[in-house]
A = this chain, B = another copy of it.
Amino acid sequence: MTLKEQCARRRSVRKYSDKEVSDQLLNSLFEAAGRTQTMGNLQLYSVVVTRSEEMKKRLSPLHFCQPMVTEAPVVLTVCADFHRTVAWCECRKAEPGYSNFLSFVNAAIDALLFTQTFCNLAEEQGLGLCYLGTTVYQPEQIIETLRLPRLVMPLATLSLGWPAEEPALSDRLPVASFVHQETYHDYSASDIDRFYRAKEALPENKHFVEINAKETLAQIFTDIRYTKADNEAMSEGFLKALRRQGFLDEI
């Protein structure tokens, strides 16, 4: 199967069989994903592998107790990492200047591109995974749990294992909704109707709106799933963690 065919049938997998995910397989995927391009070929990322029951239990509440964290054989936390590069500089009479926001952005880019090649590779092997966006919600507690030093920020968590379910494919917006030619062209109300019609018409989405006594699907997102109050509180938490890790000294 080509990657293109693999993408067409791609779904997040949240239930895993008991079959082991070997270190050998994992390392071969890390090696292949490590071929992804990075800033100055510095590979500004690191991965913490969680297999122990104890560490999974400690991570679980930091991901709002989503069951995949304790049920998956392997949990991976991918971090933006300038720490190792700075350690190298310090061993080599070089004065690093990476305690700043741009260096965080550069390392975050490296970490996320690496993460996604890893996801594509893992799925090619038949592994199932779920990307946990919760990593950036309470980063300070993840930093403490995984003992991340200065200049390391957790960004992505993957729960990983051999699939024990095959969920339905989820919908996507049409390509025309996110691609712009030459310059960005803003959306008219009729563009929005056209691009979001299919999503709004899905029975499961209509059901969400109904059981939550809302008027529109968009209100499910703004009033329940991703609220202004939560986002503002978590923005503060994330910025505080960035300061603590040394990426925001100048603000």
Q: How far is the CA of A119 from the CA of B121 in the complex (A)?
A: 13
Q: Are B117 and A7 in contact (CB under 8 A)?
A: yes
Q: Can you name 22 A-B pairs with beta carbons within 8 Å?
A: A4-B28, A4-B32, A27-B179, A31-B172, A31-B175, A35-B172, A41-B170, A41-B171, A45-B178, A46-B178, A87-B186, A92-B218, A93-B219, A95-B228, A102-B136, A102-B137, A109-B133, A109-B155, A109-B156, A116-B116, A152-B184, A239-B251
User: Copy number of this protein in the oligomer?
Assistant: 2
For A67-87 the 0/1 string (1 means CB < 8 A from B) is 000000000000001001101
Q: How far is the CA of A224 from the CA of B142 in the complex (A)?
A: 34
Closest to A152 in B: B184
Q: How far is the CA of A61 from the CA of B199 in the complex (A)?
A: 40
- Beyond the given A7-B35, A7-B36, A93-B216, could you list 18 further A-B residue pairs with CB under 8 A, ordered by the A residue number? A3-B120, A7-B121, A8-B35, A12-B37, A34-B175, A39-B133, A40-B225, A43-B177, A43-B178, A46-B184, A48-B184, A84-B187, A88-B195, A88-B196, A88-B218, A93-B219, A98-B231, A120-B120
Interface size on A, residues (CB 8 A): 116
Q: Are A136 and B109 in contact (CB under 8 A)?
A: yes
A201-243 at interface with B (beta carbon < 8 Å)? 215-219, 221-223, 225-229, 231-232, 234-236, 238-239
